[in-house]
A and B are shown apart, each in its own frame.
Chain A
Amino acid sequence: MATNPDALSPARPTAPAPDARIPDGPLDQKWKRRRFEMKLVNPANKRRYRIIVVGTGLAGGAAAASLGELGYEVLSFCIQDSPRRAHSIAAQGGINAAKNYQNDGDSVERLFYDTVKGGDFRSREANVYRLAELSLNIIDQCAAQGVPFAREYGGMLANRSFGGALVSRTFYARGQTGQQLLLGAYQALARQTAAGTVTQYPRAEMLELVVVDGRARGIVVRDLVTGRVGSFAAHAVVLATGGYGNVFFLSTNAKNSNATAIWRAHRKGALFANPCYTQIHPTCIPRAGAYQSKLTLMSESLRNDGRVWVPKRPGDARRPEEIPDSDRDYYLERMYPTYGNLAPRDISSRAAKTVCDEGRGVGPGGLGVYLDFRDAFARLGRRVLDERYGNLFEMYERITGDDPHVAPMRIYPAVHYTMGGLWVDYDLMSTIPGLFVAGEANFSDHGANRLGASALMQGLADGYFIVPYTVGDYLAHGGIAKLDEGHAAFRDAERDVAERTRRLLGVGGRKPVDDFHRELGELLWEDCGMARSRESLTRALERIPRIEEAFWRDLRVTGTGEELNQELERAGRVADYFELARLMCWDALQRNESAGGHFRVEHQTPEGEAARNDAEYAHVSAWEWRGPGEEPVLHKEPLRFEHVPLQQRSYK
């Protein structure tokens, strides 16, 4: 890949725009119309269709269960030892839905508006509108499954507020909303497993996508216990394998979350959209030492009652409780009086970076800000706050050894979510026919920044209410040839997987895989993290290949491929991260504007806010893989805003 940024002048010709296949007609009729236009599969034929679903989080679990209910033969794969452990389980705060139960003026239109605006006008209006519509069905479905949402004394569902919204539309189950929603989907999946429509393959990692005659026809999988590599053929493949935040090494993602499934699909022809849009979450526990293996999120819901501040004076060494209000800077309330502590994530994270860069950060290295509950304790009392956030307070104390009842929490931004992902059309189908992508793995709904409590909403909308219909439509159109695992394409893919494994085991160097991963992650955090510049991105594009080269020269993976080998698993994932990291930097370099989570220091307003360039960059950047070390090809999907007029985002 060339590293000369001048090779990327806007005049450079780009490849044709992919067709998003957005239905015609008024915004609120599009999904209805699309569903009516869909061809249906004869119920008697459904069991003859095999569908592979990779990943068992909210999107994958819900999709596999729903497809199984419809009668398809579903094969469900996950890398964990049980589908119930997918990383959706760690989502804390809640799930948005436009129910307007609080009578505070919410509506589908308002949720749609907030999400498009929150995404800094870089998402598709049609997709976001559908998401807002489906949010209503999700809450109904989950309540019926027995998800123990928080309730009011009359038995009705309770809500709380989240960032980027002035209405209270977030449904929650203590600080464990993701866990409870995932267990709902997992139980639906378990029901289908018992019914025989779904077969579970836990501890199984997809290592290759198999494409035959231009269609996704199966996957190659490694059994993580025995190391056996095997193939599975199907009529359609659904990837719901989550985001790629772990490319940064330190993130709030689970240790095993990785990008290999989507990256393999990308290399097989699926376009990768907006890779530079990563979300840095403002409220995480700061890192403690060089041995740190991951970062822990403190739910955004804490900002409902907690106030964020730093000392006014740089280098103020007093203990926080000794600093009087007059010497505190509640900077979010000062900078964004309307939204205050509930400013969206990208804005809150950048503000934290700004005050820390000014030398006013607190804690070791000055990389932290206070999240203080003093006033809330005085106003509401300990019992009310413990009811709301008890498990989060405990979690904080367990990790840091400090009690947030006594002293304020110390927090700092951390990589949390990736808005980018495989490009999909309105039906959530990638540019490879028959390959569907759901949840965080796709790029579809959040634009350049995701609002809190919207990831769970999108995962379940995709899994329960979109993929089961659109996959059926794809199958009903026919033209899918008969084939089985004996097809030469599967042998070739298995051989490629075996060759990669042999290469990783055969480097014969000295350093463990995590060393390289940490180095890559630190580089990305510095050069392609909360703030990026042409200079930092150019530097990163030069340095990533050097780390990659060192990896292939000095890596040591112990053991063999024919056993449970966690070092080998990690090595394969990190090998893919090098290529992905370059694409992220390349995309960030090409996007000469700031938007949401993508903040280019050259492009900011006089007040230091993100300055978009709608004339040139109101498009989705979908990248085509051209081979290792080759320059990717850009396909631009233009974005049109007909219902939410383009404007500078303001939360002041």
Chain B
Amino acid sequence: MRIFLEIWRQRSAADEGGFVRYDVPDVTEHMSFLEMLDVLNRRLVEAGDPPVAFDSDCREGICGMCGFLVNGQPHGPLRNATICQTHMRHFADGDMLRLEPWRAAAFPVLRDLCVDRGALDRIIASGGYVTVRTGSAPEANAIPVPKEAADRAMEAAACIGCGACVAACPNASAALFTGSKVTHLGVLPQGQAERRRRVVSMTEQARAEGFGHCTTIGACSRVCPAGIQLEVIARMNRDWLIAALSRREEEEPVAIAPRSSPMRFYEQAPPKTQR
């Protein structure tokens, strides 16, 4: 089959971008979408043109590295699947497909279809964990977890952190992402001690990163490759309300050795100290 592509090309964050048209005449239905782009890139390199930059790693739908918009749809037309799991049999001969990177202020474009999703890591770092020192854990069966709670936690923890929810949201909200981690840890006995602090700090961090507010439209859940349900946002809102109402003026957790910009690649070499 023959596929026509319009792909967003942008050399770097500092450059202007624009759509460029490509024609891929030798596509077969068993190819994955990314293999189709591999074929295109192979030809571009042979012609001496820069290939289209796109992120991918596991190509099994679990690492969350891939993702872009296909005709405005995050990860393309297939429900509950990443673009790496989408095969060309879901498209028709002669289709014109427009590929563009995630569009969100919190996800700056790095090149072509690659964006910087470091904001999601910083949301997790703001409280998306259980504080448990290596070696300090009790016997695993000492704390029973009802099967229903384990199942709810697993459903929420299935989030792959790809950012499709943000790209689908008219407000570029990260509520589904944040809610999934708040829910995962909030329904487990192990996550109770930090439950209130967690929901407040994570939602505050999401706002600080430039993600918008959630208005419960539900576009996020519809495009989520991991099938995360809107329920996680409701749980997050409920936890946030309880935390906000019962909150006392508490100080931030003390950092051991605060540094200025975690999760950022070095602009200069690190400070030269004698080591």
| A99, CB-defined interface residue at 8 Å | yes
| A58, CB-defined interface residue at 8 Å | no
| Cβ B263 vs Cβ A193 within 8 A | yes
Tell which of A190, A483, A564 touches B53, judged by Cβ atoms closer than 8 Å. Answer: A564
| A115, CB-defined interface residue at 8 Å | no
| Cβ B147 vs Cβ A558 within 8 A | no
Interface of A (DSSP majority class): mixed
Segment at the B interface, from A172-180, A410-418, A441-449, A596-604: A172-180
Rounded to whole angstroms, the CA-CA distance of A89 and B158 in the bound complex is 11
Q: A82-B121, A146-B191, A398-B87 are in contact. Are A156 and B265 (CB under 8 A)?
A: no
| Cβ B87 vs Cβ A401 within 8 A | yes
Nearest-CB residue, chain B, relative to A90: B58
B-facing residues in A543-588 (Cβ within 8 Å)? 556-559, 563-564, 566-567
Residues of B within 8 A of A288 (CB): 30
| Cβ B42 vs Cβ A510 within 8 A | no
A-facing residues in B49-88 (Cβ within 8 Å)? 49-51, 53, 55-65, 78, 80-81, 85-87
Residues of A within 8 A of B117 (CB): 81-82
| Cβ B146 vs Cβ A140 within 8 A | no
Tell which of B28, B62, B151 touches A179, judged by Cβ atoms closer than 8 Å. Answer: B62
Tell which of A84, A233, A401 touches B64, judged by Cβ atoms closer than 8 Å. Answer: A84
Segment at the B interface, from A12-20, A289-297, A334-342, A349-357: A289-297
Rounded to whole angstroms, the CA-CA distance of A636 and B129 in the bound complex is 45
| B269, CB-defined interface residue at 8 Å | yes
| Cβ B57 vs Cβ A87 within 8 A | yes
Rounded to whole angstroms, the CA-CA distance of A482 and B81 in the bound complex is 51
| B212, CB-defined interface residue at 8 Å | no
What's the tally of chain B residues with a CB closer than 8 Å to chain A? 98
Tell which of B124, B151, B259 touches A186, judged by Cβ atoms closer than 8 Å. Answer: B124
Nearest-CB residue, chain A, relative to B29: A401
Rounded to whole angstroms, the CA-CA distance of A144 and B136 in the bound complex is 9
| Cβ B85 vs Cβ A80 within 8 A | no
Tell which of A195, A232, A559 touches B255, judged by Cβ atoms closer than 8 Å. Answer: A195
Residues of A within 8 A of B49 (CB): 558
| Cβ B39 vs Cβ A235 within 8 A | no
A-B contact count (CB 8 A): 284
Smallest Cβ distance from A432 to chain B, in angstroms? 18
| Cβ A174 vs Cβ B154 within 8 A | yes
Residues of A within 8 A of B39 (CB): 291
Residues of A within 8 A of B51 (CB): 558, 566-567
Tell which of B50, B81, B265 touches A202, judged by Cβ atoms closer than 8 Å. Answer: B265
| B219, CB-defined interface residue at 8 Å | no
Interface flags, A455-471, vs B, CB<8A=1, else 0: 00000000011001000
Residues of B within 8 A of A254 (CB): 57-59, 63
Nearest-CB residue, chain A, relative to B136: A144
| A141, CB-defined interface residue at 8 Å | yes
Rounded to whole angstroms, the CA-CA distance of A173 and B151 in the bound complex is 9
Residues of B within 8 A of A468 (CB): 134
Segment at the A interface, from B108-116, B166-174, B233-241, B242-250: B108-116
Q: A468-B134, A558-B51 are in contact. Are A289 and B269 (CB under 8 A)?
A: no
| Cβ A514 vs Cβ B275 within 8 A | no
| B185, CB-defined interface residue at 8 Å | yes
| Cβ B134 vs Cβ A66 within 8 A | yes
| Cβ A139 vs Cβ B140 within 8 A | yes
Tell which of B134, B145, B185 touches A464, judged by Cβ atoms closer than 8 Å. Answer: B134
Residues of B within 8 A of A200 (CB): 121, 262-264
Smallest Cβ distance from A530 to chain B, in angstroms? 22
B-facing residues in A171-198 (Cβ within 8 Å)? 173-174, 176, 179-180, 183, 186-188, 190-191, 193-198
Segment at the B interface, from A117-125, A223-231, A624-632: A223-231
| Cβ B255 vs Cβ A556 within 8 A | no
Smallest Cβ distance from B116 to chain A, in angstroms? 7
Q: A81-B65, A85-B63, A193-B262 are in contact. Are A256 and B57 (CB under 8 A)?
A: yes
Rounded to whole angstroms, the CA-CA distance of A316 and B16 in the bound complex is 59
Rounded to whole angstroms, the CA-CA distance of A141 and B110 in the bound complex is 37
| Cβ B131 vs Cβ A564 within 8 A | no
| Cβ B262 vs Cβ A194 within 8 A | yes
A-facing residues in B189-219 (Cβ within 8 Å)? 190-191
Q: Write 8 A-B pairs (CB below 8 A) sorted by A numbering.
A: A140-B137, A153-B146, A179-B158, A190-B129, A195-B255, A196-B262, A197-B256, A255-B57
Which 9 pairs from chain A and chain B are nearest by CB?
Answer: A155-B144, A144-B137, A187-B129, A148-B153, A143-B140, A148-B154, A190-B125, A140-B137, A512-B45
Q: Which residues of A contact B (CB under 8 A)?
A: 47-48, 50, 62, 65-66, 69, 71, 73, 75, 80-85, 87, 89-90, 99, 101, 137, 139-146, 148-157, 173-174, 176, 179-180, 183, 186-188, 190-191, 193-204, 223, 225-226, 230-235, 254-256, 288-289, 291-294, 296-297, 394-395, 398-399, 401, 464-465, 468, 482-486, 510-512, 514-515, 556-559, 563-564, 566-567
